Amino acid sequence: MRVISGTKKGLPLKAVTGTNTRPTTDKVKESIFNMIGPYFDGGIAVDLFAGSGNLGIEALSRGIDTCIFIEKDQKAMQTIVDNLQKCRLEESSERYKIDASRAVKAFEKRELQIDLLFVDPPYSKVQFYDLARKIVEMGCMKDTGIIVCEHDKTIDLETDLETFSLTRRETYGNTVISIYRKRMEEGN
């Protein structure tokens, strides 16, 4: 794993040891950013179920101002910290070792406005994709925001998350990337 593009291009990233996390491959990561960017002019990203921090670090390298990493596993959180230090991105990040459901409740209290949301829970935990809907319901996504869900090809995610709709879905082997953006109202 490595940072593919941007200010930290080429830096290697550590994967989380063990089998509890499934890192996004460089090929899939590059495809994601080609679909949603590839570069950003600031903003806030949230890497929910961050694992190694691979997606959030790529977003920071490509111009996102701040990334909030949410991960409840201690080994994974230590890997995120190590990767952020290696890339010298500690100042551009917030890290919370917390359950994703609790983190989402905190977003509402902070009145967070998210530009880019990554939702990549363990594939067997289908119920966690509902957190993207909850974030939209709470008004924590900017109107120009993008939601990226990574999931198994056997999982068929909804086409609408409140006011956000599926705009693109791509399959890479057993992995599917579903991208949601705010639905434009008729007449706009």
Residue-range domains of the chain with CATH: 26-182 (3.40.50.150)
pLDDT at 22: 67
Q: How far is C-alpha 165 from the chain's CA centre?
A: 17
144-163 average pLDDT score: 90
Q: How many whole angstroms separate alpha carbon 136 and alpha carbon 113?
A: 10
Place of tokens 């790529």: 58
Beta strands 175-182 and 164-172, pairing class: antiparallel
CA-nearest of 61, 67, 27 to 43 is: 67
Determine the pLDDT at residue 102: 93
Summarised one tens digit per residue, pLDDT across range 20-36 is: 666 778 888 999 999 99
Confidence check: pLDDT of 176 > 60? yes
State the distance between the two ends of the chain, measured CA to CA, in whole angstroms: 41
In whole angstroms, what is the distance from residue 174 CA to residue 57 CA? 24
Q: What is the mean pLDDT of residues 146-164?
A: 90
Is the pLDDT reported for residue 12 higher than 80?
yes
Write out the two tokens for 125. Answer: 């935990």
Indicate the residue type of 187: G
Question: How far apart, in whole angstroms, are the C-alpha atoms of residue 64 and residue 43?
Answer: 5
Judged by average pLDDT, the poorest of 121-130, 133-142, 158-167 is 121-130
Strand partners, 69: 47, 95
- HSE-CB at 86 with a 13 A cutoff on CA atoms is 19
Structure-model confidence comparison of residues 184 and 52, the more confident one: 52
pLDDT at position 122 is 78
